[in-house]
Amino acid sequence: MTLAFEKRKTVSRTAIVVVPVVSFVASLVLTGALLMIFGANPLATYAAMFKGAFGSGRALTETLVKAIPLSLTGLGVALAFRLKFWNIGAEGQLTLAGVAATGVALFWSPWLPAPLLLPVMVLVGCAAGAAWAGVPALLKTRLNVDETLVTLMLNYVAILFSEFLYYGPWRDPKGFGFPGTRMFPKEAWFPRIAGRAHVGLYLALVAAAVLWFVLNRTRWGFELKVIGNSPKAARYQGISVERNILLAVLLSGAICGLAGVGEVAGISRRLQQGLSLGYGFTAIIVAWMAQLNPLAIPFVAVLMGGLLVGGDQVQMVMGLPSSIGLLMQGMILFPMLAGSLFTEYRIKRVGGQAVRESETGAV
Amino acid sequence: MGLITSLIAITLRAGTSLVYATIGETYAERAGILNLGLEGIMLMGAVSSFATAYYTGSLGLAIVVALGVGGLMALIHAFLSITMKANQVVSGLSITLFGTGFASFLGQRLGPESNGRYLIGLTGPRFAPIDVGALGKVPILGAILGQDLFTYGIYLLIPLAWFYLYRTKNGLWLRAIGENPRTADAMGVAVDRAKYGYTVFGGMLTALGGAHLALAYTPGWSENITGGRGWIVIALVIFSMWNPGRAITGALIFGGINAVQFRLQASGTNVPAAFLNMLPYLATIVVLVAITWWEALSKRVGSPASLGQPYVREDK
């Protein structure tokens, strides 16, 4: 008996729920095995991580602090991924937006009426994120240049540019040599909800709902879906593929940019080292685990934020490296990807005359 | 040493790790497997080889460990993208994310107690440039010969990799797999097995590139020791048109940019360091745009036709 695979027309519905859950559990088991190799008790480690991430009010708000940028970048990345535009430049889009919002907060605040300052920061930040994503989008749609590499390279450029600013011309002269700009005026602070969690949380939830609506209930969303499935079919239907990809990627960059505005206006209240802690990369995991579904993204973001915060706690409590959170995140996608065989393919047994289809999809 | 000679010396040294990874990825892509996990594999190669050299004092063992680790990492990618038919872009990305996280974890865990278990900031044995005596004084030749063993390795690897791909039967089959796996299958090539083999081989060479960084180029371990080299390599493979014989050109360009960066920084230029450091990344974009444009103008397609596509065998 041998197995044969046939590409499904639509992904299996059972598998869409089962695969992420099984993947998460599998990643716990795999990481647990690694932890044992390195002489740590996996159960105690997980308990400490869980407690560190969700065990107290403060832990919870810190998890939300990380979930906000992860949600937003996850949404941005998911939108681009739906069109098979591999935007791995969320990190750079976030950073450049943070830089732009900082510019507004520091240099326009004397000229702008106070209530307008935050809206302008958000707009300028999103525009910067969109512009940074627009470069690879234009190169892709006009010249067919590989977007994976361009988006990634622009991450380095954006981060180096922000370093140049806060080490150089924008550095706080009264900062005792501290690499960072001066503190924003109070009008440029995002209001906080609890702990350090700020209104970016509401923005992320609204963005998720709006993106879901646009993708599933509007004509444009339908066009994007057709393009994502088959650009060729889209062209036959008279849909402008290039224009739509460009627009969607600009929007993707703008959403990632919003994350950057939230980080500078809501958390650090200045531009300084460590603006992004790799959120733009974790966003890829968030988006893929949520199966590119905007409504699932905030939940996955909370889970991933929990891994990061829990990892920090494990370092303090158990003396294990904080990068254990990163390690677990890296591990999650493996079972998830292995599961794509069950979500995207129909498995047939081929043996003699008996051909039976496996209907459940998930095994 | 003259200016040109010293520029060549620095360029070769900086380009060595890129050549290993470029040839490795060229072979994987020729077999139709796009591996975006190079950055993660390089990091794992660097941390594992450095830790091995630090504790055993054996550079040979360090290389063996790097090869093994690189092969295993690539094996995960091969399993996901060949057997499980997962999306190769996302699978490669997850290899990089996993490799980055795991390498960072190891770097914070494998060190000695006295250093807080960190590997950062330690010095271990390293590959030093070979002393070629009077030959080292000869202009240009001195730069080529006065290198460490890794760089000598690329002098051999480049012609061998070219010869295998274009002058042997296995090389012909490899090219056939990337262009049209169905035809190769019909010709009797074990397509999946070959894809596995070349992907793992690619991972091993990539990890060797990472080992060169930690054992020779910038000896020691630091979390961003690769600085995006794994990504630059993806562009270099395109730039070399999937020809291992040309892998050296791209590496030399980027090695050269590195060398110029050093020179400028040392000469106390007014250009801020951040902008100098942007050069390799901006150059990657420029090179990518130029080559894509050239391909469009000359109507040549360099990439293997089945690159990134899962191969599903039809029922027989």
Its ipTM equals: 0.91
Chain A positions touching B117 (Cβ under 8 A) are 321
The answer to whether B38 touches B226, Cβ cutoff 8 Å, is no
Of residues B303 and B152, which shows the higher confidence score? B152
User: Cβ of A338 under 8 Å from any chain B Cβ?
Assistant: yes
Asked if the structure places residue B314 within a domain, the reply is: no
Tens digits of residue pLDDT in A102-128: 999 999 999 999 999 999 999 999 999
Nearest to A323 among B105, B117, B293 (CB): B105
Helix B3-30 to helix B191-212 angle (10° resolution) is: 160
Contact (CB<8Å) A145/B89: no
Nearest of A19, A27, A17, A20 to residue A325 by alpha carbon: A27
What is the pLDDT at residue A11? Answer: 67
Nearest to A330 among B90, B94, B312 (CB): B94
Contact (CB<8Å) A340/B282: no
DSSP string of B47-90, one letter each residue: HHHHHHHHHH--HHHHHHHHHHHHHHHHHHHHIIIIIS---HHH
Chain B positions touching A3 (Cβ under 8 A) are none
Three-state DSSP at A350 gives strand
Of the listed ranges A14-18, B36-40, B170-174, the one predicted with least confidence: A14-18
The answer to whether A129 touches A256, Cβ cutoff 8 Å, is yes
What is the pLDDT at residue A151? Answer: 97
Contact (CB<8Å) A323/B275: no
Nearest to A164 among B90, B93, B272 (CB): B272
Nearest of A141, A122, A150 to residue A259 by alpha carbon: A122
What is the C-alpha separation between B136 and B24, in angstroms, rounded? 30
H helix intervals, A192-296 = 200-217, 219-229, 231-236, 241-262, 279-289
Interface test with B, best of A271, A324, A334 (most B CBs within 10 A): A334
Residue B15: which H helix or E strand, with range?
helix B3-30
Tokens coding B185? 């299958």
Contact (CB<8Å) A327/B36: no
Tokens coding B179? 């262009």
Three-state DSSP at A193 gives strand
What is the C-alpha separation between B250 and B232, in angstroms, rounded? 10
E runs forming strands in B46-162: none
| Cα–Cα distances in angstroms (integers) from residue B169 to residues A222, B172, B175, in the given order | 49, 5, 10
Three-state DSSP at B27 gives helix
Interface test with A, best of B22, B79, B105, B307 (most A CBs within 10 A): B105
What is the C-alpha separation between B55 and B53, in angstroms, rounded? 6
Mean pLDDT, chain B, integer? 92
Chain A positions touching B86 (Cβ under 8 A) are 337-338, 340-341
- A342 CA: distance to closest CA in chain B (Å): 9
The answer to whether A75 touches A294, Cβ cutoff 8 Å, is yes
What is the pLDDT at residue A1? Answer: 55
Asked if the structure places residue B163 within a domain, the reply is: yes
Nearest to B289 among A5, A145, A333 (CB): A145
The domain of B247 spans 3-297
User: Cβ of A157 under 8 Å from any chain B Cβ?
Assistant: yes
- B116 CA: distance to closest CA in chain A (Å): 10
Give Cβ neighbours of residue B304 (< 8 Å, ≥ 6 apart): B29, B30, B31, B32, B175, B178, B179, B242
What is the pLDDT at residue A355? Answer: 39
In this structure, the strands spanning A345-351 and A354-357 are antiparallel
Asked if the structure places residue B195 within a domain, the reply is: yes
Chain B positions touching A338 (Cβ under 8 A) are 79-80, 84, 86
What are the backbone dihedrals phi and psi of residue A296, each rounded to the nearest 5 degrees, phi first? -85, -20
Number of structural domains (chain B) is 1
Chain B positions touching A329 (Cβ under 8 A) are 97, 101
User: Cβ of A316 under 8 Å from any chain B Cβ?
Assistant: no
Interface test with A, best of B97, B265, B292, B294 (most A CBs within 10 A): B97
What is the pLDDT at residue A9? Answer: 67
- Contacts of A236-239 with CB under 8 Å at 24 or more apart are none
Asked if the structure places residue B313 within a domain, the reply is: no
Which of A:246-305 have CB within 8 Å of B?
281-282, 284-285, 288
Tens digits of residue pLDDT in B54-112: 999 999 999 999 999 999 999 999 999 999 999 999 999 999 999 999 999 999 989 99
Tens digits of residue pLDDT in B188-244: 999 999 999 999 999 999 999 999 999 999 999 999 899 999 999 999 999 999 999
What is the pLDDT at residue A314? Answer: 86
Contact (CB<8Å) B275/A164: yes
Q: How far apart are the first and last CA of chain A?
A: 18
Q: What angle do CA B175, B177, B179 make, to 5 degrees?
A: 70
In this structure, the strands spanning A197-198 and A2-7 are unpaired
Nearest chain B Cα to A320, which residue? B109
Amino acid in the structure at residue B298: S
What region, left, alpha or beta, does residue A292 occupy, with left being phi > 0 and alpha being psi -120 to 50 degrees? left
Chain B positions touching A323 (Cβ under 8 A) are 101, 104-105, 108
Contact (CB<8Å) A156/B36: no
Chain A positions touching B40 (Cβ under 8 A) are 330
- B25 CA: distance to closest CA in chain A (Å): 15
Give Cβ neighbours of residue B265 (< 8 Å, ≥ 6 apart): B273, B276
Nearest chain A Cα to B271, which residue? A164
Contact (CB<8Å) A148/B278: no
Contact (CB<8Å) B277/A160: yes
Low-confidence ranges of chain A (pLDDT < 50): 352-363
Q: Furthest-apart CA pair in chain B: how many Å?
A: 69
Chain A positions touching B80 (Cβ under 8 A) are 334, 337-338
Nearest chain B Cα to A340, which residue? B86
The answer to whether B241 touches B52, Cβ cutoff 8 Å, is no
Tokens coding A8? 């499904």
What is the pLDDT at residue B244? Answer: 95
Give Cβ neighbours of residue B89 (< 8 Å, ≥ 6 apart): A86, A148, B34, B36, B308
User: Is the pLDDT reported for residue B133 higher than 90?
Assistant: no
User: Is the pLDDT reported for residue B143 higher than 80?
Assistant: yes
Q: What are the residue boundaries of the structural domains of chain A, listed by start?
A: 71-300
